[in-house]
Structure 1
Amino acid sequence: MANTRSAAKQARKSSRLRLLNKKAGDELRQAAKKIKNLVKEGLKDEATALLKGYQSMVDKAAKKGRLKKNTSIRRTSRIAKLVKSDVKVVAAKAKRSPKAAPRKAAKKATPPAA
């Protein structure tokens, strides 16, 4: 509970900005997910079309302070790299866990201690 008028105003402002930031973050995640799903399905043309809009959204979020500058650069870079990558490779990576197989192989290769 706010003790002064200025604290009450700050609380109202804070809650309003929190909702705006949450909405912007949700939109960014949904757009990224949509692009990733299009790439997995092999629809690179549609993903490329959405990529420019996604980059614009991320840049605007960084400009308004909702994302840090390097975070926005990293996100756009990863999505662009995904769109440019080979579809078969992306699908294969999604199906398997890279760390699980070597561990199992290493455990089987060592003989039991006597």
Structure 2
Amino acid sequence: MSDALWASCSKRNIDANLIYNLDSKFELQPNIGKVHRIEKDLIVGPNGGKIGLVFQDIAVSYFNSDMTCKVVSEEIGISEEEYKNMAEKLAEEFEQTSTECVHVRFWAQKQLMD
């Protein structure tokens, strides 16, 4: 499902890799000072502890949304009903695997302009 989502983003000219250089884009702004960044690899689901369960809830909610259902089902060529059946099994898959994701946090301080 994730591969189909990334393919759909690419077709719609959405830069799915923007997160990897977002800090440098922020730093180009004259009123933003140093941009700080923290990256953490996380395991989604119960194998990732409490934070893994939180990310599982976010992922399941996202993949069950109407917009994602429509976009991804079209991308992989199945009906929305078939997609919903796949999405329902996502939590079960997270229990059996150690699916990883990267969480990126940015912060900066706005500089006062003279």
Q: TM-score range by the shorter chain?
A: 0.3 to 0.5
Which has more strand, going by share of residues?
Answer: 2
Whose Rg is larger? 1
TM-score (norm 2): 0.34
The higher-RCO structure (CA 8 Å, 6+ apart) is 2
Query: Under a length normalisation based on structure 1, what TM-score does the superposition of the two structures give?
Result: 0.34
More helix by share: 1
